[in-house]
């Protein structure tokens, strides 16, 4: 099918079936109630699902519970989103093809031509509304987002600079301040990486927005392009050995690592947790390969005779494009079913993953945005008490007169008071390392102390600055 004439816009209640491995899975795709878009349900696990076949598809992103993609229509682009094969939703028109479509968490971002430059737009897939973030006046392109921060290339200073916008706090930051060009930005938490031309050739640089300076990922003077970042890990394409290879640098540890060692080209890397995907030419055409960083094992993901390229990864799923003649398929693969990167462990009944500096959290229901992102206070992770307790299946009650919160979870009860390091758990007093405090109307508490008091387990990953809380099990 060419184009997408007759594609539904935001509206309707769609139920779809996806048949795989002899089983029929029912998923709620989305519902429009008034002007609110509800993204719900889960994509059923399966080795692969083709969401769309059409012309002009440029790129795809795993976003929300589905996949978004950008397709050329006439002289401009259109943005689509889908959770179900053959039922794409058109979300935006007049998208700048050079501006890039980007997705993270429940957010989708794009650039549209404006009266005096270009405009940045972002859509919340939960509420189904798009809004302009940055006023016109300069040319912008190359946007990217992790769901809590939006980054883009901006020419307001005469050259290509990187800017960032905090989607939670509403603050804009100029990331780079160099007369050379900086392009292809990517972001995860407080780490922004980009391609920098200050030495005369493209090299990957990065900056920690919490106060770090601009730095190169390596001292090697090679051609470096296509950066992607997750947590403190940055991956990119590097030609230091004559062909294109995938490299990784960990900002937290300072370790640089060559991931691929094949005489063919490997490029277009993407990273999520301990999994890296890329496009690989070792068998003569474009294939999607994947590596488990914990084991160093790499393997092909799909392995068809068609060219498969531009992978994106998130929430345990990989989206990529497959060229079939003049048309392109948008394909979604589930890592748990393909076995790529190892089998995902069976999840406990209640769990949540928090990453320092990021408003995106991972839960059994998918990615959820927090009002206030977790951060470190006196080397302790603090986060909103209500969000943590409700994510673990509990409930909270606020007493405004006493400035106290009572949390109930798994048969246990804890009471904390703003400004008081003493908490009462099931009638017994405990001392917290950080006293609860208010931030943007939310009671912030030390996560480990409170979660363990309520019967949850706590795991800390220093490499990715991530804390995982879990309660109950299968």
**pLDDT of the residue at 411:** 79
- Mean pLDDT across the stretch 99-117? 79
CB of 376 within 8 A of CB of 366?
Answer: no
Q: Which has the minimum average pLDDT: 159-168, 174-183, 199-208?
A: 159-168
C-alpha 437/C-alpha 472 separation (Å) is 28
The pLDDT, as a whole number, for residue 135 is 58
What pLDDT band is residue 134 in, cutting at 50, 70 and 90?
low
Nearest to 210 by CA among 248, 252, 157, 271: 252
Q: What is the pLDDT of residue 339?
A: 54
For every residue of 380-416, DSSP letters joined together read EEEEEHHHHHHHTT-EEEEETTTTEEEEEETTEEEEE
Rounded to the nearest angstrom, the gap between the alpha carbon of residue 64 and the centroid of all alpha carbons in its chain is 9
Tell me 44's DSSP state.
P
CA distances from 463 to 230, 355, 467 (A): 10, 11, 11
pLDDT for 338: 53
Q: Model confidence at 44, in pLDDT bands (50, 70, 90)?
A: very low
Whether residue 336 has pLDDT greater than 90 = no
DSSP assignment, residue 217?
S
Q: What is the pLDDT of residue 440?
A: 86
pLDDT band at 18 (very low <50, low <70, confident <90, very high): very low
Report residue 102's pLDDT band, with 50, 70 and 90 as the boundaries: confident
Looking at residue 92, its pLDDT comes to 86
Question: What is the average per-residue pLDDT within 422-431?
Answer: 87
188-192, 194-198, 250-254, 338-342: least confidently modelled range: 338-342
Q: Distance (Å, rounded) from C-alpha 156 to C-alpha 161? A: 8
For residue 87 the two structure tokens come to: 């039922």
Q: How confident is the model at residue 20 (pLDDT cuts 50, 70, 90)?
A: very low
Of the two residues 349 and 61, the one the predictor is more confident about is 61
Q: Rounded mean pLDDT of 191-208?
A: 96
What is the token pair recorded at 372?
A: 């206030």
Averaged pLDDT score across all residues of the chain: 82
* Residue 47 pLDDT exceeds 90: no
Q: Look at residue 210 and tell me whether its pLDDT is greater than 50.
A: yes
**Residue 245 tokens, joined:** 């290879």
Of the two residues 185 and 148, the one the predictor is more confident about is 185
More confident residue, 235 or 340: 235
* Lookup result for tokens 């999607």: 288
* Residue 75 vs residue 19, higher pLDDT: 75
pLDDT band at 117 (very low <50, low <70, confident <90, very high): confident
Mean pLDDT over residues 106-122, rounded? 82
- In this prediction, residue 347 carries a pLDDT of 43
Dihedral of the alpha carbons of 134, 137, 141, 146, in degrees to the nearest 10: -10
At residue 1, the pLDDT reads 35
Closest to 89 (Cα-Cα) out of 133, 43, 37: 37
**Tally of helices (H runs) and strands (E runs) in the chain:** 3, 45
Return d(Cα 94, Cα 72) in angstroms, integer.
10
Of residues 103 and 154, the one with the higher pLDDT is 154
Confidence at residue 144, expressed as pLDDT on a 0 to 100 scale: 92
Is the CB of residue 27 less than 8 Å from the CB of residue 83?
yes
Instruction: Give the side-chain half-sphere CA count within 13 A for 124.
Output: 14
Q: Are 407 and 454 in contact (CB under 8 A)?
A: yes
Rounded to whole angstroms, the Cα distance separating 383 from 401 reads 22
On whether the CB atoms of residues 121 and 110 are closer than 8 A, the answer is yes
Reported as a pLDDT band with limits 50, 70 and 90, residue 464 is: confident
- Res. 363: pLDDT tops 60: yes
Question: 451: phi > 0 → left, psi -120 to 50 → alpha, else beta; which?
Answer: alpha
Note whether 288 and 282 are within 8 A (CB).
no
The confidence score (pLDDT) of residue 394 equals: 85
Predicted local distance difference test score (pLDDT) of residue 305: 87
Burial class (CB in 10 A: 0-12, 13-18, 19+), 188: buried
Statement: residue 22 has pLDDT above 90: no
343 pLDDT exceeds 80? no
All domains of the chain, ordered by start, with CATH? 14-338 (2.120.10.30), 350-471 (3.30.457.10)
Query: 29-38, 241-250, 335-344, 357-366 — which is least confidently predicted?
Result: 29-38
* Two tokens, residue 316: 């345990």
Mean pLDDT on 60-86: 83
User: Using an 8 Å Cβ cutoff, are 27 and 44 in contact?
Assistant: yes
Whole-angstrom CA distances from 425 to 368, 411, 413 are: 28, 11, 6
**Contact at 8 Å (CB) between 236 and 205?**
no
DSSP annotation of 167: T
The phi, psi pair for 336, rounded to 5°, reads -65, -30
Q: Is the torsion defined by CA of 278, 468, 336, 58 positive or negative?
A: negative
């Amino acid at each position: 099918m060419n184009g997408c004439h007759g594609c539904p816009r935001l509206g309707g209640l769609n139920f779809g079936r996806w048949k795989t491995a002899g089983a029929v899975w029912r998923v709620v795709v989305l519902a429009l109630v008034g002007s609110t878009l509800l993204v719900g349900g889960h994509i059923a696990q399966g080795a692969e699902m083709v969401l769309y076949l059409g012309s002009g598809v440029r790129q795809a992103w795993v976003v929300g519970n589905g996949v978004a993609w950008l397709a050329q229509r006439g002289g401009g682009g259109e943005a689509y989103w889908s959770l179900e094969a053959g039922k794409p939703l058109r979300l935006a028109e007049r998208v700048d093809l050079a501006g890039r479509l980007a997705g993270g968490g429940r957010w989708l971002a794009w650039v549209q031509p404006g009266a005096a430059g270009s405009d940045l737009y972002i859509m919340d897939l939960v509420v189904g509304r798009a809004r302009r973030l940055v006023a016109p006046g300069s040319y912008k392109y190359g946007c990217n987002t992790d769901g809590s921060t939006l980054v883009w290339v901006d020419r307001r200073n005469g050259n290509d600079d990187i800017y960032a916008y905090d989607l939670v706090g509403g603050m804009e930051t100029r990331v780079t301040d160099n007369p050379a060009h900086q392009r292809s930005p990517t972001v995860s938490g407080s780490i922004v990486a980009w391609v920098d031309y200050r030495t005369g050739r493209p090299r990957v640089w990065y900056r920690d927005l919490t106060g770090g300076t601009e730095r190169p990922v390596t001292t090697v003077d090679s051609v470096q392009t296509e950066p992607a970042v997750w947590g403190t890990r940055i991956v990119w394409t590097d030609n230091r050995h004559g062909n294109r290879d995938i490299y990784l640098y960990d900002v937290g540890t300072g370790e640089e690592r060559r991931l691929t060692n094949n005489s063919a080209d490997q490029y277009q890397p993407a990273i999520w947790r301990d999994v890296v995907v890329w496009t690989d030419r070792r068998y003569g055409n474009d294939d999607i390969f994947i590596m488990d960083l914990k084991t160093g094992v790499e393997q092909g993901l799909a392995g068809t005779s068609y060219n498969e390229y531009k992978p994106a990864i998130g929430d345990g799923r990989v989206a990529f494009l497959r060229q079939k003649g003049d048309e392109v398929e948008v394909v979604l693969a589930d890592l748990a079913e393909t076995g790529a990167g190892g089998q995902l462990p069976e999840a406990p009944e209640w769990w949540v993953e928090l990453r320092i500096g990021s408003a995106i959290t991972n839960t059994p229901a998918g990615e959820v945005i927090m009002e206030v992102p977790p951060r470190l206070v006196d080397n302790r992770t603090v986060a909103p008490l209500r969000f943590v307790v409700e994510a673990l299946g509990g409930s909270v009650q606020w007493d405004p007169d006493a400035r106290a919160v009572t949390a109930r979870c798994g048969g246990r009860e804890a009471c904390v008071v703003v400004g008081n390091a003493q908490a009462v758990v099931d009638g017994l007093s405990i001392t917290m390392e950080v006293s609860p405090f208010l931030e943007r109307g939310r009671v912030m508490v030390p996560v480990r102390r409170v979660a363990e008091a309520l019967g949850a387990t706590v795991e800390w990953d220093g490499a990715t600055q991530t804390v995982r809380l879990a309660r109950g099990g299968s």
